[in-house]
A and B are shown apart, each in its own frame.
Chain A
Amino acid sequence: QFVLTQPPSVSGAPGQRVTISCTGSSSNIGAGYDVHWYQQLPGAAPRLLIYGSTNRPSGIPDRFSGSKSATSASLAITGLQAEDEADYYCQSYDRSLSGSYVFGTGTKVTVL
């Protein structure tokens, strides 16, 4: 079940900045649990984009950045490129669901 809500789609022109929100509650993001972000290119497995709410794994361009506040988190993509067109998912832990990790509903990013 999805307890993290994301906008279904966002779009932007090449070079622009887009942000994707991830809204949770007091049992997940609001409880202090980290948020992680994944990018899924068409036909591919997801890959980790941001971990611990704000950190980039090695190899991830600094165009991608994450932030967290209260019961929500955001992923920002600056200098949007055609190769960024993909689905993006946030993920966290929810203490109301025994041992349960939860994913966001997913956001399709379209580069105009």
Chain B
Amino acid sequence: QVQLVESGGGLVKPGGSLRLSCAASGFIFSNYYMTWIRQSPGKGLEWVSYISFGGDIVYYSDSVKGRFTISRDNTRNLLLLDINSLRVDDTAVYYCAREPRYSGKFFGFDYWGQGAPVTVSP
């Protein structure tokens, strides 16, 4: 069955860095776009970044552009998010999600991980 398992979250000071990982299993990883979505405590969902099948196309939300870097390793079925210059308002649960795309059309985020909590505090 499809599984997405995030790791790497934790407590970090403002200005610090983190690397989040998402280990995928149960499907052909390279056949899917992948996405990071975050949810601040008690708040709604915010799309962060997505990456194409082979990693040649990446997009970021304006709130993280220049500080976050998404990448993937299709040989290890791994999605990564490098987060730098962390700010207090980056505190959130970070979810990785699978993104089916066929003929250029997007069909929603059909599987989600359980989330990795990131807390940024002095």
Contact = CB atoms under 8 A, between A and B. Distances in A.
Interface in B104-122: 105-115
B53 to A, nearest CB: 16
Contact of A57 (B37, B63, B110): B110
A102 B112 contact: no
Interface in B61-81: 61-63
B59 A45 contact: no
B59 A100 contact: yes
A84 interface: no
Interface of A: 1-2, 34, 36, 38, 40, 45-48, 50-52, 57, 89, 91, 93, 97-106
B94 to A, nearest CB: 11
Main secondary structure of the interface of B (DSSP, over half): strand
B114 A45 contact: yes
B44 A104 contact: yes
B62 A97 contact: yes
A98 B108 contact: no
A40 B114 CA distance: 12
B50 A101 contact: yes
A34 B45 CA distance: 18
B59 A46 contact: no
